[in-house]
Amino acid sequence: MTGGLRRLRGAIALFLACAVLAPAAASAQAFLEAYRAGVDAVERGDWATAQRLMEEATDDRPEAAPRLLRHLQFKPYVPWYYLGLARYRQGDCTGALEAWTESERQAVAPAIATLWQATVDGREDCQQRIAAQNRAARNAGQARQELDRAEAQAQDAAAHATEARAAGVWTYGNPAPADLLASAQKDLAAARKLLQPADGDQQEPPTQDAVDQARSLTRQALGALEALRERLAAHRAEIGARRGSAVQRLNNLQQTARRALAETEDMASRIPSVARDRDALSEALQAADAVPKNASLQTLEEQRNRLARAISTLRETAAPPPEPLLEAAGAFFSGQLEHTVELLNESGLAESPDPRTRAHAALLRAAARFSLWQAGGGADLDLLEAARQDVRTARDAAPVLTPLPRAFSPRFLAFFEANPPN
């Protein structure tokens, strides 16, 4: 019984030992295969494959070893060194330094002169690359800040475009403010494009050459914006002076309009044309009075021109007739018909450059000739034809002319209406 029990216990122990060692052997085989294949990939220069396989090896067995008997034929097991090398060859300096730091900690690779020298050279190169990248990132950050400020200035300048357009100076000059802003915006857009991450990689800063070009474009844009500000400031000063002058001219004209309305108040009750033109002037004056204090130069000029035209029209309408016309009118209304025609013929008023004077002179002569024709019993047809021609001359000169019923006979008024302009 004792010998049998001893044999049974030995069998159980052997079974348990095999059960424990079998997974370990399988695990050892996995990391060895990954490591061997990774070394082969390194020798081929297949760095992506080498990285993947060395990462598998370090996951299964992270600790380096000078040699693994039976398995590597006395070759060293340094997966962290090869992992750093694979990352380095692919441009991942941060990952390479991490792997080499672990390799150095394990003190196996540093004991191998060729591997250690390669580590030192790669680490030095990576440190220089990282330092250069950091400098590039700092320079790019500073360039972006400069660009942000310049773009803010461009937006501020664009906000003044409406005012400058209303003042008529946005496209004035060479270069015009509009051209200066367009040039600045174009340079800023080009600078922004240069400072975008290279190849869409958010971690990779733009090259130093791109940063230098972007800064140069930003400075160029700032120069255009400064010229734009100076140009707009000069224009604003000029516009301010012009606006002040326009306000004063409008104020003076408003006073003139009020005097003209006061001077023609009595005439408006007797002369319809004066009443009509006074109404037009009153409307223009009300519009001018309603102009706000901060009105644009264009608005001030528009209101001033409207008011000036209304004043001129009213003055022309209300202006007293020429002395020869008054004398002829006096003769007509006193019954001196032949003398009326004689005065008008001698004065030449019917050929006056002033349409109103010409119209009234022709009207008065037509009335005198028509009355003479009536007084002669209607026998002088030449006189009637002359009266008819005078009516047409009057109506040609002033198409809206209408004889006052209280000043002329009903027959003449009918005669006047029966002879339209030529």
23-27, 123-127, 158-162: least confidently modelled range: 23-27
N-term to C-term CA, the chain: 157
- Domain residues of the chain, as ranges? 34-152, 247-318, 323-417
Identify the residue whose tokens are 């494009």: 193
The amino acid sitting at 369 is R
Burial of 26 (0-12, 13-18, 19+ CB in 10 A): exposed
Answer whether residue 293 shows pLDDT above 80.
Answer: no
- Residue 169: the pLDDT is 76
Task: Judge whether residue 70 has pLDDT over 70.
Answer: no
Q: What is the rounded CA–CA span in Å between residue 352 and residue 16?
A: 139
CB 92 within 8 A of CB 108: no
CATH fold, domain 247-318, is Substrate Binding Domain Of Dnak; Chain:A; Domain 2 (1.20.1270)
Q: Which residue has the higher pLDDT, 318 or 47?
A: 47
Average pLDDT value for the chain? 84
- Pairwise CA distance, residues 10 & 228, whole Å: 99
Give the C-alpha separation, 55 to 32, whole Å.
12
Instruction: Indicate the burial class of 392 (C-beta count within 10 angstroms; 0-12, 13-18, 19 or more).
Output: middle
In degrees, rounded to 5, the angle at the alpha carbon of residue 278 between the alpha carbons of residues 276 and 283 is: 100
Global confidence as pTM: 0.44
Which residues on neighbouring strands pair with residue 77, listed in sequence order?
65
d(CA 242, CA 78): 85
Q: Looking at the domain 34-152, which fold is it? A: 1.25.40
Residue 217: closest CA among 241, 194, 249: 194
What is the sign of the dihedral through the CA atoms of 311, 314, 315 and 316? positive
pLDDT for 111-158, tens place per residue?
A: 888 888 989 999 999 988 888 878 877 888 888 888 898 889 888 888
| SS3 of the chain: helix, strand, coil, percent, to 5 | 80, 0, 20
Most confident of 31-45, 189-203, 316-330: 31-45
